[in-house]
Every structure is written in structure tokens, then in C-alpha cells.
Amino acid sequence: QVQLVESGGGLVQPGGSLRLSCAASGLTFNHYHMQWYRQTPEKERELVATILLPTDKTNYADSVKGRFTISKDNAKNTVYLQMNSLKPEDTAVYFCNARHLLSNNINYWGKGTLVTVSS
């Protein structure tokens, strides 16, 4: 059974940093693009960052460019999102997503981890 388990969320002050982790199991990790999304009750789910096969090219939403970094450790089947210079508008539930490199219809989601940026 495929599982994606996020961790690392919490409360942080504006300007602070957090690192989110997503541990994957039950899938062939090197066959999947990995992505981070975020969502609030007021907005639709937003794609934040991607790391794409075969070259591990990264892409970011304009709102987080220069502040967030996506990376992965293939040996650990884990993808990370390093978040620096956090702003209140970054507050959201962050979700990990795995999308098969050959089929957009094959994808899996974690349950999410809450990030709250507030003083």
C-alpha cells in the first residue's frame, strides 16, 4: 500500500524557517515526480514546488521563489521542503504528492502537515 507521510510542520514566527519531510513507501521512488502543495480554507490547493524526473529539475511558485527549496534523498525515499524567510501568507496545510513520470493519472497524496506563521 502506498503511503506518503509528512512531518515537520508547526508554529514559526515571520522570518523563521521550517523543513518539511515526506517519507514515501510502497512505490518505486525513482519512477515518480515529487511535489509539494498547500491549501487554506479560503483558497484552492496551490502547487508550491516540484522536483521532476529524469534530471531532478526544480520549479517553484512565484510566491516562494528564493525562499523555499525542494530536494530529495533517494536512499531514504524522502522529499524535503526547506522553507526560509517565512511570511504569514505561507500559513497553510502542506501536502506531499507523488506523480508517476509516465502518467499524470497515477498519483498519491499525504494527509498534510500544518504550517502556521504568526507572531
pLDDT tens-place values along the chain, 119 residues long: 999 999 999 999 999 999 999 999 999 999 999 999 999 999 999 999 999 999 999 999 999 999 999 999 999 999 999 999 999 999 999 999 999 999 999 999 999 999 999 99
What is the model's pLDDT at position 9?
A: 98
Residue 15: Cβ-neighbour burial (10 angstroms; 0-12, 13-18, 19+): exposed
Ramachandran region, residue 41 (left: φ > 0; alpha: ψ -120 to 50; beta: rest): alpha
DSSP type of residue 13: -
What is the model's pLDDT at position 5?
A: 98
What is the model's pLDDT at position 21?
A: 98
